[in-house]
Structure 1
Amino acid sequence: MKATDFETKFDTGDDVAGDVDWSKARRPNMEMRRVNVDFPAWVVEGLDRQASRLGVTRQSLIKMWIAEKLG
């Protein structure tokens, strides 16, 4: 399918999900990289308290907070 045909189909509200190869889909700049950070015990305990209060994991809390500061 040509890009113009795809755009027309999308713009008219037709379902284009079947026209996309989702196995090759990716988000730019969203590849994961592992980062190791050492914190003092009191920081980890504080993170765990906040994560528990919010109902998320420690890792999710750290990701949310860093994303807020960078965004």
Structure 2
Amino acid sequence: MKAEEFDDMFDRGEDVTSTLDLSKVHRPGEEQRRVNVDFPDWMIASLDREARRLGVTRQSIIKVWIAERLEHGRHAA
């Protein structure tokens, strides 16, 4: 399909998702990378307690807290 045909379909409000290969879709800057961080035992225990209280995983709470801190830092600068 040519780009012009795609644009026309989109402009008419037609569903264009069937023309896309969604298996290769990604958000720029949102790719995942693995990092290893060492925490003391007391910190892991505290993280686990808070994660259980909130009903999320340890990894999720770490991600959320770091994201919140980074976002706060971005607005403070």
RMSD over aligned CA atoms reads 1.6
Distance 1:24 1:46, change over 3 A: same
Q: TM-score, normalised by structure 1?
A: 0.81
Runs of 4+ in 1 over 6 A off after TM superposition: none
1:18 CA displacement: 0.2
CA distance in 1 between counterparts of 2:36 and 2:56 reads: 20
| Percent of aligned positions that are identical | 61
Q: TM-score, normalised by structure 2?
A: 0.76
Deviations 1:6-64 (A, max 9, x none): 23322332111101111221221222211111111111111001101111000011011
Q: Which runs of 5+ in 1 are unaligned?
A: none
Q: Which amino acid aligns with 1:65?
A: W
